C-alpha cells in the first residue's frame, strides 16, 4: 500500500492509473477508522481496480467551538487497518497542502444544507462539499463510496456531483453498527461507559418508529413524539433534532408516503451522535 501526501504526487499517480485503464475507487474519511469505514473499502472494491482512501481531518467542516483540534487521530493504526481491508493508496495530506494561505474558493450547495445537521452546524456542509470537490479533482476517481450513516451528506454530495457535472459515480453503503445497534462512529470514544449504554436508545427509537409505521402509523408528529419520549428518558441525552423528511429535497413531511428519511442528532455527554433510517411506505 502506498502513502501519498502531496497533491502533485497524487495527480501523477491518478493520471498513471487512468492511462493504464484502471478504475479508481475512492473512500473519503477523516481517519480513526472503524468497521464502518472498512466496509466502504470493501464496497468500493466491488466496483473498482484500485482503492484510494483519503485520511484528512478537514478543518473547514468544523464550526467554531467544535472538536477539530481534539478529533481522534491515529494514522499508523489507520494505515494497518486500511491495508488489511484492501486499500491500495492512502492520500494523507496536511492542512497546508490542501488549504494554502491564499485559498479562497468554496463550494456551496443551497437549501438542502440548511436543514437537519446544517441548521445547527451552519458552515459544516460548505466545508464538506469544498473538501470533497477538491479530493475528486486530486484523486480523479471513477467511483466514490460514502456511508448512509451521514445520510444528508450523501444526498448533498450527490446533488453537487449532478450540479457541477463531476464525471463519477456515487455509491452509498449501509450503516455498520455495534452489537447493541449504535452506529459506529469515530466520536463514540468520547462516551463514558454510562453514556455508551444510553446511546443505544438512538437506534432503538428508530426501530420503534419503523415498527409504528409497519403497524400503519402515517402521522409524522406521532412518530417523532414517540422517538423523543424514548430518548428523553436518558439522563445525558440532549436532542438536537428528530425529523422525518423526503429523501430528495429534505423537506419535512406531515403524512408519510413514498420514501422518507427519519433522522436524528442527539448530544450524549460530549459527542453529538447522528443516526437515521430510510423507510419506504
Ligand atoms: P468520517 O471519517 O466520519 O468523515 O466518515 C467517512 C465516511 O465513512 C463517510 O462516508 C461516513 O458516512 C462513513 N461512515 C462513518 N461511519 C459509518 C458507519 N457506521 N457505517 C458506514 N459508513 C460509515
Confidence (pLDDT) at 95:
98
Whose CA is closest to atom 10 on ligand 1? 146
Confidence (pLDDT) at 265:
98
Confidence (pLDDT) at 196:
98
37 close to ligand 1 (CB < 6 Angstrom): yes
**Nearest partner of 171 among 150, 148, 197, judged by Cα:** 148
**Nearest partner of 198 among 138, 267, 130, 123, judged by Cα:** 267
**Nearest partner of 132 among 103, 109, 104, 151, judged by Cα:** 109
CA distances from 89 to 48, 53, 78 (A): 13, 6, 12
Q: Are strands 24-29 and 50-55 parallel, antiparallel or unpaired?
A: parallel
How far apart CA 185 and CA 166 sit, in angstroms, is: 28
Confidence (pLDDT) at 143:
98
pLDDT below 50 — which residues of the chain? none
Q: Is 261 helix (H, G, I), strand (E, B) or coil?
A: strand
Pocket test for ligand 1, best of 149, 151, 272 (most atoms within 8 A of CB): 149
pLDDT digits (tens, 9 = 90+) for 126-169: 999 999 999 999 999 999 999 999 999 999 999 999 999 999 99
Q: Cβ–Cβ contacts within 10 Å for residue 238, how many?
A: 13
How far apart CA 109 and CA 111 sit, in angstroms, is: 7
Q: Name the residue with cell 444544507.
A: 113
48 close to ligand 1 (CB < 6 Angstrom): no
Confidence (pLDDT) at 60:
98
Of ligand 1's listed atoms, the one at least distance from the Cα of 39 is: 21
pLDDT digits (tens, 9 = 90+) for 225-262: 999 999 999 999 999 999 999 999 999 999 999 999 99
Angle between helices 220-232 and 193-214 (to 10 degrees): 160
**Nearest partner of 189 among 52, 36, 32, judged by Cα:** 32
Q: Which three cell numbers stand for residue 4?
A: 501519498
Residue 38 C-alpha to ligand 1 middle, in angstroms?
Answer: 9
Of ligand 1's listed atoms, the one at least distance from the Cα of 184 is: 19
Query: Helices (DSSP H) in the chain: which residue ranges?
Result: 7-19, 35-45, 75-84, 95-98, 117-120, 124-139, 151-163, 193-214, 220-232
Domains and CATH numbers, the chain: 2-173 (3.40.50.620), 186-276 (3.30.1300.10)
150 close to ligand 1 (CB < 6 Angstrom): yes
CA distances from 264 to 50, 209, 267 (A): 35, 12, 10
pTM of the model: 0.98
Active site (catalytic) residues: 37
Amino acid at each position: 500500500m502506498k502513502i501519498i501526501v502531496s497533491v502533485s504526487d497524487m495527480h501523477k499517480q491518478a493520471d498513471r492509473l487512468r492511462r493504464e485503464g484502471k478504475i479508481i475507487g475512492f473512500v473519503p474519511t477523516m481517519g480513526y477508522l472503524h468497521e464502518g469505514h472498512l466496509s466502504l473499502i470493501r464496497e468500493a472494491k466491488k466496483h473498482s481496480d484500485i482503492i484510494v482512501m483519503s485520511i484528512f481531518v478537514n478543518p473547514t467542516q468544523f464550526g467554531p467551538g467544535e472538536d477539530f483540534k481534539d478529533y481522534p487521530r491515529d494514522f499508523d493504526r489507520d494505515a494497518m487497518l486500511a491495508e488489511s481491508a484492501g486499500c491500495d493508496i492512502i492520500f494523507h495530506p496536511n492542512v497546508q497542502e490542501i488549504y494554502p494561505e491564499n485559498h479562497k474558493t468554496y463550494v456551496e450547495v443551497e437549501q438542502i444544507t440548511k436543514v437537519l445537521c446544517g441548521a445547527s452546524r451552519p458552515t459544516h456542509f460548505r466545508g464538506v462539499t469544498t473538501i470533497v470537490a477538491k479530493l475528486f479533482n486530486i484523486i480523479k476517481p471513477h467511483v466514490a463510496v460514502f456511508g448512509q450513516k451521514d445520510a444528508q451528506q450523501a444526498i448533498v454530495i450527490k446533488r453537487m456531483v449532478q450540479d457541477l457535472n463531476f464525471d463519477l459515480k456515487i455509491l452509498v453503503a449501509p450503516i455498520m453498527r455495534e452489537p447493541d445497534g449504535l452506529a459506529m462512529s469515530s466520536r463514540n470514544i468520547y462516551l463514558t461507559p454510562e453514556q455508551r449504554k444510553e446511546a443505544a436508545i438512538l437506534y432503538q427509537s428508530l426501530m420503534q418508529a419503523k415498527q409504528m409505521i409497519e403497524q400503519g402509523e402515517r402521522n409524522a408528529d406521532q412518530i417523532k413524539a414517540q422517538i423523543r419520549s424514548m430518548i428523553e428518558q436518558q439522563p445525558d441525552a440532549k436532542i438536537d433534532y428528530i425529523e422525518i423528511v423526503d429523501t430528495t429535497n429534505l423537506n419535512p413531511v406531515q403524512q408519510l408516503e413514498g420514501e422518507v428519511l427519519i433522522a436524528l442528532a442527539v448530544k450524549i455527554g460530549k459527542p453529538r451522535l447522528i443516526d437515521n433510517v430510510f423507510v419506504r411506505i
